Chain A
Amino acid sequence: MTYTKRLDGRKHDELRETEAKVGVIKRATGSAKFRMGNTTALAAVYGPRELHPRFLQDPEKGRLRCNYNMMPFSGMGDRVRPGANRRAKEISMVTTKALLPAVDLKDYPNAVVDVFIELPQTDAGSRCVGIVAASMALADAGIPMKDLVCAVAVGKVDKSIVIDLDYEEEQYPKYATTKVDDEEVADIPIAMIPSTGEITLLQLDGDISKEDLIKALKFAKPAMEKIYEIQKKALKEKYSDLKGGKK
């Protein structure tokens, strides 16, 4: 048996239920919330503001600094100890690199744009959900950008290519309800600049052939388009009732 029927009944190219909102944190320069199934990310942007310590400053352009953090009660299992661990540091770094090609900080020398991504609940796919929220928050903050950044995980579960894996799919053989042919699961988080189709984040856990990988990457593109539309809609919603500078 290949994986024809998904555990939660979704189609292979179907995203989980999504929810997007812009402007959720008043004190931040820009902010957004994005939820995909039971994975929720809040993102807040502060800046451009002065960067300390000064030796980190770049006189040519502003710096982008992302910080990914899981709330202590947001894990599927035990409490997550507060503070940065190796995983959070790595995700913060790849998130920064996923967003950087879309932002233009040349007008902000020596400054920093801080992006804080916080997760109140997770069910796989948190780095992608975080990137989607962060990109909306950057746009909300008015940071010059050439496009938004979309992100979603694509994967291979028992020979089938599926989009937006949840926790049970990532752990597939453990939760399988039918006979499993291929125990290997591949989980591939991707971020993309939708207008150019360029990929800005690519990671892979698992086992997959080169042919299947390329297939998976192409399979993710329509899902990116869907997320792009959701992001644009949420951004427009915030500003839709602002007419002529009056609310």
Chain B
Amino acid sequence: MNLQIQNHIKQSLDQQARVDGRKLDEFRDLTIEKGVSQTAEGSARVILGETEVIAGVKMSVGEPYPDTPEDGSLMVGAELLPMSSPNFEPGPPSIWAIEIARVVDRGIRESKAIDTKKLCIKKGEKIWLVAVDIITINDDGNLLDAAGIATLAALQDAVFPTYVDGEIDYKKKTKTKLPLSKLPIPVTVYKIGDNLLVDPVSEEEESVDARLTVTTTEKGQICAMQKGGDAPLTIEEIDKMCTLAQKRASELRKKL
């Protein structure tokens, strides 16, 4: 990106001003729409400013891992579609796509938001496999947070398909919801120069020196973290970032 624009963004932030007039700790408008794909067992579209992400849940029946014979499994994948940004190319998942999927996955897994025991059909033989796919539609910054919210909304929307005599009938959905007991929301706090901010637009994102994703549950407990960017962070900064992330997460949770 143009160096002058980058400098402008940095200097404005020093005066607490952002390109779109928001406060540094302010999110853009968030819209969540559930049930956007009839073929998925659960789905949701999240629109955060101009950033748009879809998540879909697909369920299947498989064998459990030998070390966890009574647990169903969860898999989160992310695709950064070349449709959503001129910077994304077709092909195998980029490291950024892998990072988004893994950080979102970690929040749900480590907070034990889904009771995997309830996904067991027959111990040691048959379990439900839950696959969540995150798809980007338009990238205008902060994809990770949008992806995390979309994943939770899709899981909230998901119901089991009919399963009789070892056969799944995807056309007949049941009314049984997925056992989702917590909402671990990832909020990424970004550092540009000496300033901390949330929910950057693309132009701001390109100037980011460091970022920290903090995933928190209803009680404010931290269940996953990920530091990104090239610049280091001090303990004081991490303290501030966690506080800010907890605050924003509890507000975002109300929209789910």
Q: Are B39 and A75 in contact (CB under 8 A)?
A: yes
* Inter-chain contact B86/A49, CB cutoff 8 Å: yes
Does chain B have a CB within 8 A of A28? yes
Measured CA separation A25–B43 after assembly (Å): 19
User: Would you call B37 an interface residue if the criterion is a C-beta within 8 Å of the partner chain's C-beta atoms?
Assistant: yes
Which of B37, B40, B82 meets A114, CB within 8 Å? B82
Task: Say yes or no: is A185 at the interface (Cβ < 8 Å to chain B).
Answer: no
Task: List residues of chain B with CB within 8 A of the CB of A4.
Answer: none
Cα of A67 to Cα of B52 in the assembled complex, Å: 20
Scan A120-143; emit 1 where CB is below 8 A from any B CB, else 0: 111100000000000000000000
Selected interface stretch from A78-86, A220-228, A235-243: A78-86
- Report the Cα distance A56→B131, complex, angstroms: 37
Q: Which residues of A contact B82 (CB under 8 A)?
A: 46, 67, 114, 116
Interface size bracket, A side: 20 to 34
Residue B71 lies at the interface, judged by CB distance under 8 Å to chain A: no
Query: Using a CB-CB cutoff of 8 Å, which residues 68-94 of chain B contact chain A?
Result: 77, 79, 81-86, 90, 92-93
The residues in A between 194 and 235 inclusive whose CB is less than 8 angstroms from any CB of B are none
Establish whether residues B84 and A83, one from each chain, have CB atoms under 8 Å apart when the complex forms.
no
Partner of B37, one of A28, A44, A71: A71
Bound: A5/B97 CA distance, A: 47
Say whether A38 faces chain B, with CB atoms less than 8 Å apart: yes
Contact B40 A73 (CB under 8 A): yes
A27-B85 CB under 8 A given contacts A72-B131, A74-B37, A82-B79: yes
Which of A28, A38, A73 makes the CB contact (< 8 A) with B56?
Answer: A73
B56 and A77 within 8 A (CB): no
**Cα A116 to Cα B81 with chains together (Å):** 9
With A25-B138, A72-B133 already in contact, the answer to whether A78 and B83 are too (CB < 8 A) is no
When distances are taken between beta carbons in the complex, the residues of chain B under 8 Å from A72 are 56, 58, 77, 79, 131, 133, 135
Which residue on A lies nearest to B49, using beta carbons? A26
Q: Does B171 contact A (CB under 8 A)?
A: yes
For the complex, give the distance between the alpha carbons of A140 and B140 in Å.
20
Chain A residues with CB under 8 Å of B85's CB are 27
Determine the distance from Cα of A118 to Cα of B137 in the docked complex, in whole angstroms. 9
Listed A/B pairs (9) with beta-carbon separation below 8 Å:
A27-B85, A40-B37, A49-B86, A71-B37, A73-B37, A77-B170, A78-B170, A79-B58, A114-B82
Q: B159 contacts the other chain (Cβ, under 8 Å)?
A: no
A76 CB-CB contact with B under 8 Å: yes
Which positions 42-80 of chain B face chain A at CB distance < 8 Å? 43, 50, 52, 54, 56-58, 60, 77, 79
With a cutoff of 8 Å between Cβ atoms, the chain B residues found around residue A73 in the complex are 37, 39-41, 43, 56-58, 131, 133
Give the CA-CA distance A126 to B86 in the complex, in Å. Answer: 25
Contact A121 B39 (CB under 8 A): yes
> Which B-chain residue is minimally distant from A83 (CB atoms)?
B92
- Inter-chain contacts of B60 with A (CB < 8 A): 78-79
Considering the chains assembled together, what is the distance between the CA atoms of A183 and B93 in angstroms? 43
Complexed CA–CA distance, A38 and B82 (Å): 24
Q: A28-B83, A73-B56, A120-B56 are in contact. List 6 more A-B contacts (CB 8 A).
A: A42-B137, A49-B86, A73-B43, A120-B36, A120-B135, A121-B36
Contacts of A44 in B (CB 8 A): 83-84
Contacting residues of chain A (24-62) with chain B, CB-CB under 8 angstroms: 25-28, 38, 40, 42, 44, 46, 49
Q: How large is the interface on B (under 10, 10 to 19, 20 to 34, 35 or more residues)?
A: 20 to 34
Interface of chain A: mostly helix, strand, loop or mixed: loop
* Chain B residues whose C-beta falls within 8 Å of the C-beta of A25 in the assembled complex: 52, 83-84, 137-138
Knowing A46-B86, A78-B58, the reply to whether A26 touches B138 (Cβ < 8 A) is: yes
- For the complex, give the distance between the alpha carbons of A114 and B84 in Å: 12
Would A120 and B37 count as touching, CB distance under 8 A?
Answer: yes
B139 at the interface (CB under 8 A from A): yes
Chain B residues positioned under 8 Å from A40 (CB to CB): 37
- Chain B residues closer than 8 Å to A114, beta-carbon distance: 82
Residue of A nearest to B82 (CB): A116
* B4 proximal to A (CB < 8 A): no
- Which of the residues B40, B92, B133 comes within 8 Å of A121, measured between beta carbons? B40
- Which residues does chain A contribute within 8 Å of B38, judged by CB atoms? 38, 121, 123
Say how far B105's CB is from chain A's closest CB, in angstroms.
15
5 cross-chain pairs, A with B, having the tightest CB-CB distances, nearest first: A73-B56, A73-B40, A116-B83, A79-B58, A72-B133
The chain B residue with its CB closest to the CB of A115 is B83
For B50, B82, B92, B170, which residue has the most chain A Cβ atoms within 10 angstroms?
A: B82
